[in-house]
Chains A and B, each alone.
Chain A
Amino acid sequence: MSTFPSTPTTRPLPNVGLPTDPDYEQRLAEFEARIEDGEKIEPGDWMPYEYWRQLVRMISQHAHSEVVGMLPEGAWIPRSPSLRRKLILIAKVQDEAGHGQYLYHAAESLGVDRDTLIHQLLEGKAKYSSVFNYPTLTWADVAMIGWLVDGAAIKNQTMLAHCSYGPYSRAMVRICAEETFHYKQGKEAVTLYAQGTPRQRRWAQDALNRWWWPALMMFGPHDKDSPNSPALMRWKIKTKSNDTLRQEFVNEIVPELLAVGLQIPDPELRYDEETGNWHIGPIDWDEFWQVLQGNGLMNKARMEARRRAHEEGLWVREAAEAYARRRMARSGPEKMAA
């Protein structure tokens, strides 16, 4: 389903324009003028097929990422070092479940149904952020994910909150408001470790060594290797390029990591006085594509966990449906009092 053809043969929704429509050019010009004016495009408004297709791809991948993102941290809930940390971690994972819901609903506003989205994920056909295919080996990993991974996500989501498509923009604004605590609790936890006992400092450094590059890859391929980006920028689905966001993230987080006594695992990292940019070394894009295509350390485990959760939760869904049917049979199909 990230497999809608780039050259459409059928119209997915009545309001989606195909390049073969006689009034396509005129409608496209009006559409682009609306976006230029800062107007929000809502479900039901005319939109070009390619806009629709890009949004379906982006939003569904984003939704799947939130849901899979619950797994590396969920494993540590029963093993949190204190009650306070457990409560914080549960709250963070609950947020991610909720964020997945906002995004699935935004995808549904484009006419895709939940059943299709769920089965796409369970059958291993969905793409989601590659960062979640890495294992969380210690509690320090959980802390580092909050600081690095959520920090990177916030950069991206803050930008996407300006998106021209109303439902996605609204989901992003709500997510941004909730995500900041994820980043701050991570920064707090890593700081405690980085300024703690020698063993804690080693754990924090080890976590950074393993999560630094996966976090940088979250911003996606370099601009020149990013085939979707020109359309996304023209229609204000994205408003900043991958490399721009990645550089902003690096510039903000490197001084913070250095300030707590950690070292960045990049021998080529250097500060450029002239531009104010921290220059990073080359990213291993082979690793990125391998992980994205399913050969990461945890891809298989993530999918197995998701499928198990879906199967083991079946009785809950069946019970809810049976209850709803029974109430409807008793009180008739009119509105039931809660």
Chain B
Amino acid sequence: MPDTEWPRYEVFKQDRPGRPHEAVGTIHAPDPEMALLNARDVFVRRPECYNLWVVPQDQVLTMTRMEMELNPNWADEAIPEDAPMRTFYVFTRQHHRRSMVAATHVGEIQARHHREALRKALESGRFTDKPVYLWMIVPADAVTSSGEEDVEPMFAPAQDKRYRDQSYYGGLIFDKNALKRREREMG
């Protein structure tokens, strides 16, 4: 690869066990392993992370309600006869509130291709209790995931660094003695 862009990966972060993964943004990396490391450096400088997924961006179908309205034939895609059925993760955004998250994992669907997965997701009615403004369709087999064994080395260090948290500075700003004590704390 010449000294230009590296492939882009979508990053999905699970804050705690049992919580759904959330689409938080993208990073560039030359391979999936570096993608996990870069994703950690860019998106996990604050403690909340239990698991990270990275997926090449060209493997993720992102579509807005507006795009579907503008292109009514969006679902028409020639799919080869022998294409196997695969699992696709479904992510949606169902509000326009200020948020740092683009979409949230709401379930999965079986299909032979991204657009078929989105069409089936729509038709199933499982995900449209409220209007969906943004869909992301992610093939399970394109996901590179951090492991259980990575929680300690990759994500735990952020938890000790309380000085990154703005509440660490609260209230003591004008208490000179408390300030001096804190300065001596760490040398």
In this complex, what residue of A is CB-closest to B44?
A: A98
Instruction: Digitize B1-24: 1 where CB-to-A-CB distance is under 8 Å, 0 elsewhere.
Output: 101111010000000000000001
In this complex, what residue of B is CB-closest to A310?
A: B3
A88-96, A267-275, A292-300: which lies at the B interface?
Answer: A88-96
In this complex, what residue of A is CB-closest to B150?
A: A338
Please tell me if B151 contacts chain A, counting CB pairs below 8 Å. no
Instruction: Digitize B106-143: 1 where CB-to-A-CB distance is under 8 Å, 0 elsewhere.
Output: 00000000000000000000000000011000000111
Contact between A187 and B173, CB atoms less than 8 A apart: yes
Interface residues of A in 107-121 (CB under 8 A from B): 108, 113-115
Instruction: Tell me which of B5, B67, B170 contacts A113 (CB under 8 A).
Output: B5
Contact between A44 and B25, CB atoms less than 8 A apart: no
Other 11 A-B pairs with CB < 8 A, given A115-B5, A192-B183: A82-B183, A84-B163, A84-B187, A87-B161, A87-B163, A105-B26, A169-B98, A178-B46, A184-B166, A187-B173, A338-B145
Contact between A314 and B3, CB atoms less than 8 A apart: yes
Please tell me if B73 contacts chain A, counting CB pairs below 8 Å. no
Please tell me if A42 contacts chain B, counting CB pairs below 8 Å. yes
Given the known interface contacts A115-B4, A173-B100, A338-B146, the answer about A324 and B187 at a Cβ–Cβ threshold of 8 Å is no
Chain A residues positioned under 8 Å from B186 (CB to CB): 82-84, 87
Chain B residues positioned under 8 Å from A328 (CB to CB): 31
Contact between A338 and B147, CB atoms less than 8 A apart: yes
Contact between A181 and B173, CB atoms less than 8 A apart: no
Instruction: Give min CB distance, A229 to chain B, whole Å.
Output: 22
Contact between B164 and A91, CB atoms less than 8 A apart: yes
A23 to B179, CA, bound (A): 63
Point out which of B42, B170, B179, B185 has the most chain A C-beta atoms below 10 A from its C-beta. B42
In this complex, what residue of B is CB-closest to A27?
A: B70
Please tell me if A265 contacts chain B, counting CB pairs below 8 Å. no
Instruction: Give min CB distance, A159 to chain B, whole Å.
Output: 12
A5-13, A282-290, A301-309, A315-323: which lies at the B interface?
Answer: A315-323
Chain B interface (Cβ < 8 Å from any Cβ of A): 1, 3-6, 8, 24-34, 36, 41-43, 45-46, 62-64, 66-67, 70, 96, 98-102, 133-134, 141-147, 161, 163-166, 168-170, 172-174, 176, 179-180, 182-183, 185-187
Please tell me if A54 contacts chain B, counting CB pairs below 8 Å. no
Chain B residues positioned under 8 Å from A94 (CB to CB): 41, 45
Chain A residues positioned under 8 Å from B183 (CB to CB): 82, 84, 192
Please tell me if A211 contacts chain B, counting CB pairs below 8 Å. no
B interface majority secondary structure: mixed
Instruction: Tell me which of A184, A188, A321, A335 contacts B144 (CB under 8 A).
Output: A335
Chain A interface (Cβ < 8 Å from any Cβ of B): 15, 34, 38-40, 42-46, 82-84, 87-88, 91, 94-95, 98, 101-102, 105, 108, 113-115, 161-162, 166-167, 169-171, 173-174, 177-178, 180-181, 183-185, 187-188, 191-192, 195, 260, 314, 317, 320-321, 323-325, 327-328, 335-338
Contact between A188 and B187, CB atoms less than 8 A apart: no
Contact between B42 and A98, CB atoms less than 8 A apart: yes
Contact between B64 and A321, CB atoms less than 8 A apart: no
Given the known interface contacts A178-B46, A338-B147, the answer about A98 and B102 at a Cβ–Cβ threshold of 8 Å is no
Chain A residues positioned under 8 Å from B5 (CB to CB): 113-115
Instruction: Give min CB distance, A187 to chain B, whole Å.
Output: 6
Chain A residues positioned under 8 Å from B43 (CB to CB): 98
Point out which of A45, A180, A328 has the most chain B C-beta atoms below 10 A from its C-beta. A45
Contact between A170 and B102, CB atoms less than 8 A apart: yes
Chain A residues positioned under 8 Å from B64 (CB to CB): 42, 44-45
Instruction: Give min CB distance, A199 to chain B, whole Å.
Output: 17
Contact between A191 and B173, CB atoms less than 8 A apart: yes
Instruction: Tell me which of A88, A191, A321 contacts B1 (CB under 8 A).
Output: A321
Instruction: Tell me which of A34, A102, A181 contacts B168 (CB under 8 A).
Output: A181
Instruction: Give min CB distance, A30 to chain B, whole Å.
Output: 9
Chain B residues positioned under 8 Å from A317 (CB to CB): 3
A323 to B101, CA, bound (A): 32
Chain A residues positioned under 8 Å from B3 (CB to CB): 314, 317
A320 to B179, CA, bound (A): 44
Instruction: Give min CB distance, B94 to chain A, whole Å.
Output: 12
Chain A residues positioned under 8 Å from B62 (CB to CB): 42-44
A327 to B29, CA, bound (A): 14
In this complex, what residue of B is CB-closest to A320?
A: B30
Instruction: Give min CB distance, B183 to chain A, whole Å.
Output: 6
In this complex, what residue of B is CB-closest to A260?
A: B174
Point out which of A184, A195, A320, A338 has the most chain B C-beta atoms below 10 A from its C-beta. A338
Instruction: Tell me which of B4, B67, B176 contacts A44 (CB under 8 A).
Output: B67
Chain B residues positioned under 8 Å from A195 (CB to CB): 176
Contact between B96 and A39, CB atoms less than 8 A apart: yes
